[in-house]
Amino acid sequence: MKLYDYILSPSCYKVRLMAALTGIPLKIRPVDFHPGGEHRKAELLALNPAGSIPILEDGDLVLTESSAMLVYLSMKTAPKWLGDGTAEQAARVQQWLSFSHRLTANLGGARLHEMLHRPGDIAVLQAHGIAALRELEAGLVEQGLRGKSFLASDRPTIADIACFPYVALAPDGGVLLDPYPAIRLWSRAIRALDGFIEMPGIHRLHELKPDPSIAAGEE
């Protein structure tokens, strides 16, 4: 499987993260998104006329939507990431996958504007991003009251992976995460998963590794 990838793209990171969590090896083909604009040049437009990344190639199959890639990776090797098979969980997964596309537009748009000079109405993007974070916070609170720590289930699904990157990187676009305790706990739970990998802007949880040398007086 070959992933056309940009290291700073949260959408590409969704796929890299999913592959790491499920142990699927990916061949990475780096795309010079910035400053080169390679995603909009002839070679990649031929593969994906939408001019977006990520693009996933597996033999003859070419996928251009990150949600589809998440579904593909889980169905191939780790179907538990799709939910427990019930209609309710499948629907919840779809609900949050659709929601995740709004995050790309609002939180992602704010980030591209604040960091990489892309055009946009920053006040509107941030306001929409805040509204989305509030929905996510309320959703996580309610899941918690149902005894579930993840968006669709009591274990992580592709719904969590689809939402996590843009949420974790919201501060890049000037949207702080301070007011959302449930999102903070959920984000920690994802970052503590076996096989979790970071992307630039999401740093390692150093607390997961014990202090390499304990100084006197610390205990």
Select the residue interacting with another protein from 24, 26, 90, 115 (CB under 8 A).
115
Angle at 215 (CA atoms; ends 213, 219), nearest 5 degrees? 110
| Chain Cα centroid distance, residue 104 | 9
- Closer to another protein by CB, 45 or 124: give it: 124
Angle at 51 (CA atoms; ends 103, 4), nearest 5 degrees? 85
Spatial contact of 63 and 72, defined as CB atoms under 8 Å apart: yes
Peptide bond preceding 165 in cis form (omega within 30 of 0):
no
- Closer to another protein by CB, 51 or 79: give it: 51
Q: Confirm or reject binding of residue 214 to another protein (CB under 8 A).
A: yes
Distance in Å, CB of 57 to another protein, minimum: 17
Q: Confirm or reject binding of residue 212 to another protein (CB under 8 A).
A: yes
Spatial contact of 114 and 122, defined as CB atoms under 8 Å apart: yes
Distance in Å, CB of 167 to another protein, minimum: 14
Per-residue three-class SS string for 62-123: EECCHHHHHHHHHHHHCHHHHCCCCHHHHHHHHHHHHHHHHHHHHHHHHHHHHHHCCCCCHH
From 71-79, 80-88, 159-167, 169-177, span contacting another protein (CB under 8 A)? 169-177
Q: How far apart are CA 183 and CA 15, in angstroms?
A: 21
Residue 9 sits at φ, ψ, to 5 deg, of -85, 120
Binding mask 6-45 for another protein (x = CB under 8 A): xxx---------------------xxx-xxx-x-------
Q: What is the largest CA-CA distance in the chain?
A: 62
- Closer to another protein by CB, 30 or 195: give it: 30
Spatial contact of 44 and 37, defined as CB atoms under 8 Å apart: no
Distance in Å, CB of 201 to another protein, minimum: 5
From 56-64, 81-89, 99-107, 114-122, span contacting another protein (CB under 8 A)? 114-122
Distance in Å, CB of 218 to another protein, minimum: 5
- Closer to another protein by CB, 49 or 119: give it: 119
Q: Confirm or reject binding of residue 124 to another protein (CB under 8 A).
A: yes
- Could you list the residues that contact another protein (CB under 8 A)? 6-8, 30-32, 34-36, 38, 114-117, 123-124, 127, 134, 137-138, 141-142, 145-147, 171-172, 174, 178-179, 181-182, 184-185, 188, 200-201, 203-207, 209-215, 217-219
